[in-house]
Amino acid sequence: MLMAQATPAVQGHCDPRFAGVREVFAANLRERGELGAAVAVRLDGRLVVDLWGGWADEARTRPWERDTVVNVWSTTKGAAALCAHLLADRGLLDLDAPVARYWPEFAAAGKEGVLVRHLLAHRAGLPGLRQPHGLAELYDWELTVGRLAATEPWWEPGTACGYHALTYGFLVGEVVRRVDGRMPGAFLREEITGPYGIDFAIGLPEKDAGRAAELSHAPAPPAALAWPARATPVTVAALANPAVSAGDANGAAWRAAELPAANGHGTARAVAELYGLMFDGRLLSRAAAERIREGQGACRDLVLGAGLGRDTELGLGLWLSGPWGSYGPNPRAFGHDGAGGSCGLADPEAGLSMGYVMNRMGPRIADDPRKAALVRAVYDAL
């Protein structure tokens, strides 16, 4: 008779002050359906929490290790935004300029007035393509950016917001490429993660495949949260053209692609450090760091609004915690969630950054209960 395998013990270190974070992390593994995960917290430039545990695969044959990396879905968008802000800080990119200044073809179909800031704030009206666009086509950078340049927006750019789930990475990433000449993944590696020794990449180098966690499909959501039942055409375009599953993201084609909105791979430690670079003065000027969280006005998201049930507010590339507290009690804290649970968080006033990564996806696009419990525990310790 086969015996059930016990969940590997929580490993890593945690300052005594943050013992409550360890307790919540362990409770996630015991009680909240966690398979494998890691959480890291940096405070005033010091790593005060660095924990990992559980399993890196659904079959529970590989324990989660210190250097296990995992696809973090839209938590990747913080890295893409950081590339744009670094170029702006260097005086090479004007966030208030029309996108067409850098990408002339983009002016087609009434988009000549779209500003770079509209791309960063999900206000460009391009959350998805109108024509069918499959996974193989998504992996083709030139094809995808060409179709985005040619298409007409779903709404008048700048007048409303709607989550650009996959297109965000192509839009912001192509501007980075037009300004700098490098693809966003190469720019990130050569200008940010490489110099700072951060274990995070857009895509996954083949040499690292053996340490990648296997994503597990989300459980079926409650009927009230099943977005296809309430989908509008713009929601379908954003979230199902193409539809992407956890299984797709475990494949070699996804990992080899350049998807700056969705296929970043890294450790929790790397996410915490990457988000820390957004405010701690090592990479960006103070003015550039403030610009990241420059609120663009609260709105009911045209893609996610019905599912979230409330307004949200974006800065220039990251979500603001606001009165909703998604990233802790400081309304000016900011961050980005990844579908199914992962999160990067930055709170300049607290001197705090946090990364949480996992491989069992929950049904939510944002504010997963596991993440929310960890964020509360972190702030309880301050």
CA 331 → CA 291, 348, 364, distances in Å?
A: 15, 11, 22
Cα 372-229-128 angle, rounded to 5 deg:
80
Distance of CA 307 to the CA centre of its chain: 18
Query: What is the distance between the alpha carbons of residues 329 and 321, in angstroms, rounded to a whole number?
Result: 7
Point out which residues pair with 106 in neighbouring strands.
none
Which DSSP string corresponds to 246-295? HHHHTSHHHHHS--TTTBEEE-HHHHHHHHHTTTSSSSS-HHHHHHHT--
The residue with tokens 């990564």 is 357
The catalytic site residues sit at: 74
Closest CA relative to residue 76, chosen from 288, 349, 270, 348: 270
The DSSP letter of residue 201 is: E
Nearest by Cα to 86 from 163, 168, 193, 171:
193
DSSP calls for 46-78:
EEEEEEEEEBSSTTS-SB--TT-BEE-BGGGHH
